[in-house]
A and B are shown apart, each in its own frame.
Chain A
Amino acid sequence: MTADGICVRGIHPRANRLVRAPGLEKGTDSGMTANLVNRNSHETGELGLGPDYTLCECELEPLKQLVARLERASQVEVRKSPSVCLTMIPAEDSLEKQKFFLGEALTTECEVAVDGLPGFGLCLGDEPVRAYCIAVVDALLHGDRPAPIEVEAFLREQGEAVARRDQDEFDLVLQTQVDFKLMEEE
């Protein structure tokens, strides 16, 4: 299988949801390929990973440091302290699309206002610090003014780090791909 037949999971940075990232094209359907491709995501710096995914997956320490700096430059008000709750995860069978409830996931939520702009933090697990940090960044990203350069730089840097980590693990997974040979070929 060549790189022509691959796709990436993309989260659009602005739409803040998993969508087909810019540069994604319909893949060729050779019967062995996936359905989307993103040939130049790394070359263009567009990693296809949005802020929420990055903020949920990045190392906590640099995120804390970023938010500590933001706190010094802005007025942060905690409107709802971080608290754990449940998120029900529905799934569906892959053929007939029968929806059912798979189970619940532990989730942390937090609400803040940064200079009056509302921010909402949500992440899986019992992660009060991360949820708070996500809420602060969310307020600055989705306010009525451009996001601070520092935040943009952080997201770019950490987005790349998360993508690299995912790719590194995927490289190892790919080493276990089976190369079938017919017995006569041996």
Chain B
Amino acid sequence: MGYVAVKGGQDAIENAIKLVDYFRWKGRTKPIELDQARTQMRLAVDRAMGEGSLYAPEHAALALLQVEGDSFEAAFHLRAYRATLERRYDAEILNTREMFVHRRISSTFRDIPGGQILGPTRDYSFRLLNPALLNASLGSIEKFLSDLRDEIDPNKLHEMTTYKKVIDIFLKEGLMSSQARPGEDRRVFDVTREAIKFPVPRSATLQMLARAETGALMCMAYSTMRGFGMAHGTVGELRVGEVPVRVVDKRGRLRCVGKIKVSEAEMVGGSGHGQGEGGGRAAKKTGAPRYSIGYGLCFGQNETKAICMGMVESALRNPNSDNPANNQEFVLYHTEVIEGYGFTNHLKLPHYVTFQAGMEGARRVARKNSDKAEQVTVSAGGVEENND
């Protein structure tokens, strides 16, 4: 059966778009300004940038405003916008050791180089709704900011600094190796330029996880801890902060073009290499088991995503067809936000022809069965008659 083109519905579509705006504005509430969305919904903005794979806070805020906060749609809009732009520069490799740290914690050691800095987090607060926000005003905000400054403990101050990493401790003790795993595909692959073919190099895995949908990634990471895997990575270090970006300009000079906020997680676990997940690769000299890290890095403050990326990345380096999270194709295809969202939502589009074809088949079978049943009844009736 061929496809039949249909036409119509244009007016309905245009009116549907207007109706979206009607439901947005019917309460006649004050429009949210872009700056308000960017700063007061900053975690939603960060998430949209990560999943949209485009670092552009103003545009992410605009996308969120436009789609009324739908994170899938916001990522979709950013990816679409990105597709209209030319890539003219490749930055130097981001050096997260230069991070202007907002937050850094570790679950592996109490004392880490430079100390644990909680930074802006809700991790240690009760999840209780705060009605005080309903009464926030510019005056109360100014007062809060001023009070915060007054509360600064001068004993805790020092000049701006960068911090050593927790993995340095492992490296120093010989419990971690910075050598690449033998035989691993280390090609630098760009999934936005080339179609992927499984198995993909590690670089493609990291790139796809960095732009994956947060919830889907969490689902995969959670599954590895809950029984569909043997991993329980420990947060060696979780950092959130700003890192400078540099590019070489057309005159060949290295230029700083600003800084971006990122979340970085180094999930410590057994190297897994050669001994199955969770097992440590023994050091040649000492024979002691070695640790490795699952690496997570994403745009903005999205700690859940960075941690889950680290967990999943680690799982994917130890393939195991029994567990979804250890299956590269399963993870990478099903955490890709635009593919998943697009395919799911295509179900809402007309499937009249294909569905009708299926129904026609079902009716035909039903008719055939009904004819058969009638024949059986007739013949059964005949027997009865004969019996009579």
Contacts and interface: CB of A to CB of B under 8 A. Distances in A.
Contacts of B298: 102
B54 A34 contact: no
B68 interface: no
B387 interface: no
Most buried by B among A85, A92, A101: A101
A35 interface: yes
Interface in A72-122: 84-107, 109, 111, 118, 120, 122
Contacts of B161: 5-8, 34
B160 A167 contact: yes
A105 B297 contact: no
Contacts of A111: 250
Contacts of B117: 173-174, 176-178
Nearest to A51: B256
B47 interface: no
B220 to A, nearest CB: 18
B76 interface: no
Given A56-B257, A85-B89, A102 B210 contact: yes
B87 interface: yes
B172 to A, nearest CB: 9
Contacts of B169: 31
Contact of B53 (A34, A92, A96, A104): A104
A46 interface: no
B113 A178 contact: no
Nearest to B250: A120
Nearest to B256: A52
Interface in A6-52: 6-9, 11, 16-18, 31-36, 38, 41-42, 50, 52
Contacts of A126: 56, 58-59
Contact of B167 (A5, A88, A95, A118): A95
A92 B293 CA distance: 13
B203 A99 contact: yes
B132 interface: no
A185 to B, nearest CB: 13
Nearest to A55: B256
A50 B259 CA distance: 13
Interface stretch (B21-29, B149-157, B365-373): B149-157
A53 B160 CA distance: 16
Contact of B159 (A101, A102, A167, A180): A167
Interface string B48-62: 011001111111000
Contact of B160 (A6, A93, A103): A6
A86 B111 CA distance: 40
B192 A7 contact: no
B242 to A, nearest CB: 9
B234 to A, nearest CB: 15
Contacts of B160: 6, 8-9, 163, 166-167, 170
Contacts of B87: 85-88, 104
Contacts of B176: 95
A109 B250 CA distance: 11
Contacts of A87: 87-91, 245, 247, 257
Nearest to A106: B56
A100 to B, nearest CB: 4
Contacts of B385: none
B178 A171 contact: no
A183 interface: no
B328 interface: no
Contact of B100 (A85, A104, A170): A170
A45 B151 CA distance: 28
A173 B115 CA distance: 12
A52 B249 CA distance: 12
B96 interface: yes
Contacts of A149: none
Contacts of B162: 7-9, 34-36
A180 B111 contact: yes
Interface string A128-162: 00000000000000100000000000000000000
Interface of B: 49-50, 53-59, 82, 85-94, 96-98, 100-103, 110-111, 113-119, 148, 151-153, 156-165, 167, 169, 176, 178-181, 186, 188, 190-192, 202-204, 206-207, 210-211, 244-247, 249-251, 253-260, 262, 264, 266, 292-293, 295, 297-299
24 contacts: A17-B254, A34-B161, A35-B162, A36-B162, A42-B159, A85-B86, A85-B87, A87-B91, A87-B245, A89-B245, A90-B91, A93-B206, A95-B292, A99-B203, A100-B204, A103-B211, A104-B53, A105-B91, A106-B59, A142-B253, A170-B160, A176-B117, A178-B116, A180-B111
Given A103-B211, A174-B158, 6 more contacts: A87-B87, A88-B91, A91-B93, A106-B56, A124-B259, A167-B159
